């Protein structure tokens, strides 16, 4: 069924989009939207240029075959200074996540059970040990695990799949019900909420949870209007006086927009909220700072005390007046290039490569269009 007619008008309301999303989810045909589906895996396996990027992930998967998982009970990165033992322990544990994704992808491409079995060991270990506390800046790190589950879920044993599903569902529900998401708190509409919607959205579509899917679709349209400004700036840029937080806010919005485009056919990149805000406007707004036309001294007028604490801790990127580094916008460009392939040229320039696929995200974009 073709739903492209939705793209012909900007007058489509969020309520209609929500109903459409739920109807799509009720058809019974559960495709893979969070990760690559079977058709996309087939294209990857037969593309020489794409395989060059895949081979680097295969190397990670092969090394992971002899590694043990090191899950952490509680992810702790947000609000902690570099060097804090809790943050250091988390950073070490998070090294598992690229391994989980690489193992799962290697299984789908090669059909070799050794990759599937090891991916199941890693995912099972994290499902058993990790307990969410509803902090989206911490939980946003779980992207590779959700994508990995989406790749292998049909091949897991019922017991394995149930344990992982329960863990992910608990993560999503805790995100939505945590105090950080209370109306009136800045964390209910700033970059925290962008990351919250993204991780909950990925879990929703990986699990096929239609209730969560509806929450996320409605939430994204509201977030575009609350978090992004009509001139293209963002609430996070205004409060932090830092492009660092503008792009950090755009990354989850873009990733979620890609997921919803794949799942519902609706283009949230160009969706314009009643406020006049859109993701596209906010990407366009930052481009002059990425291509060198403009520079920006970071954190000079930040209203957040933690920014000053990090500067005092010797974290150079947070020192007031430090110029924004354009390479820190590469992830935003790569994600935006799903909707606007022309953004890849600047991403290549900033990375310093002429490769057709300058990063794995470029491969995923090409496969998913």
Which two tokens mark 264? 């519902």
In a domain, 87, yes or no: no
In a domain, 57, yes or no: no
Q: Which residue has the tokens 């060991």?
A: 121
CA atoms within 13 A on the CB side of 131: 2
In a domain, 137, yes or no: no
Tell me the C-alpha distance between 113 and 125, whole Å: 18
Q: Tell me how far the alpha carbon of residue 170 is from its chain's centroid.
A: 18
**Predicted pLDDT of residue 166:** 98
Which two tokens mark 113? 């059970």
Q: Is residue 60 within 8 Å of 122, Cβ to Cβ?
A: no
Domain range spanning residue 311?
A: 1-24+230-369
Tally of domains within the chain: 1
In a domain, 76, yes or no: no
In a domain, 12, yes or no: yes
Q: Is residue 330 within 8 Å of 317, Cβ to Cβ?
A: no
Name beta bridge partners: 323: 297
In a domain, 99, yes or no: no
**Predicted pLDDT of residue 31:** 75
Which two tokens mark 193? 């909420």
In a domain, 338, yes or no: yes
- CB burial string 77-103: b at 16+ within 10 A, e below: bbebeeeeeebebbeebbebbebbbbb
pLDDT digits (tens), the chain, 369 positions: 232 222 222 333 434 334 333 333 333 345 799 999 999 999 999 999 899 999 999 999 999 999 999 999 999 999 999 999 999 999 999 999 999 999 999 999 999 999 999 999 999 999 999 999 999 999 999 999 999 999 999 999 999 999 999 999 999 999 999 999 999 999 999 999 999 999 999 999 999 999 999 999 999 999 999 999 999 999 999 999 999 999 999 999 999 999 999 999 999 999 999 999 999 999 999 999 999 999 999 999 999 999 999 999 999 999 999 999 999 999 999 999 999 999 999 999 999 999 999 999 999 999 999
**Predicted pLDDT of residue 219:** 98
In a domain, 260, yes or no: yes
Main-chain dihedrals φ then ψ at residue 303, nearest 5 degrees: -95, 5
**Predicted pLDDT of residue 27:** 34
Tell me the C-alpha distance between 110 and 45, whole Å: 9
121: CB partners within 8 A, 6+ apart:
69
């Amino acid at each position: 069924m073709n739903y492209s007619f939705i793209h012909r008008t900007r007058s489509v309301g969020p309520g209609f989009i929500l109903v459409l999303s739920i109807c799509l989810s009720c058809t019974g045909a559960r495709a893979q939207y969070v990760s690559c589906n079977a058709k996309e895996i087939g294209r990857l396996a037969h593309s020489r240029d794409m395989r060059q990027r895949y081979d680097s992930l295969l190397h990670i998967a092969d090394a992971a075959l002899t590694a043990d998982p090191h899950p952490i009970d509680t992810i702790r990165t947000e609000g902690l200074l570099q060097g804090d033992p809790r943050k250091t322990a988390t950073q070490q544990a998070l090294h598992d996540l690229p391994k989980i994704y690489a193992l799962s992808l290697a299984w789908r491409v090669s059909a070799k059970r050794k990759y599937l079995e090891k991916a199941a060991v890693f995912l099972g270990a994290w499902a058993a040990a990790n307990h969410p506390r509803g902090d989206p800046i911490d939980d946003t790190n779980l992207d590779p695990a959700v994508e990995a589950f989406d790749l292998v879920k049909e091949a897991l044993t019922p017991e394995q799949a149930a344990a992982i599903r329960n863990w992910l569902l608990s993560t999503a529900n805790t995100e939505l019900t945590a105090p950080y998401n209370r109306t009136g708190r800045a964390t209910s509409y700033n970059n925290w909420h962008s990351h919250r919607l993204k991780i909950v959205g990925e879990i929703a579509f990986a699990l096929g949870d239609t209730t969560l899917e509806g929450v996320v679709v409605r939430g994204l349209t509201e977030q575009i209007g609350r978090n992004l400004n009509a001139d293209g700036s963002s609430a996070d840029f205004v409060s932090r006086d830092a492009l660092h937080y503008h792009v950090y806010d755009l990354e989850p919005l873009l990733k979620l927009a890609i997921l919803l485009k794949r799942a519902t056919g609706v283009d949230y990149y160009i969706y314009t909220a009643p406020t006049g805000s859109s993701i596209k406007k906010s990407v366009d707004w930052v481009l002059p700072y990425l291509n060198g036309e403009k520079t920006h001294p970071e954190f000079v007028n930040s209203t957040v005390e933690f920014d000053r604490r990090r500067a005092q801790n010797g974290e150079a990127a947070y020192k007031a007046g430090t110029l924004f580094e354009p390479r820190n916008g590469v992830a935003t460009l790569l994600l935006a290039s799903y909707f606007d392939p022309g953004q890849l040229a600047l991403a290549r320039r900033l990375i310093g490569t002429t490769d057709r696929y300058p990063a794995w995200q470029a491969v995923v974009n090409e496969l998913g269009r």
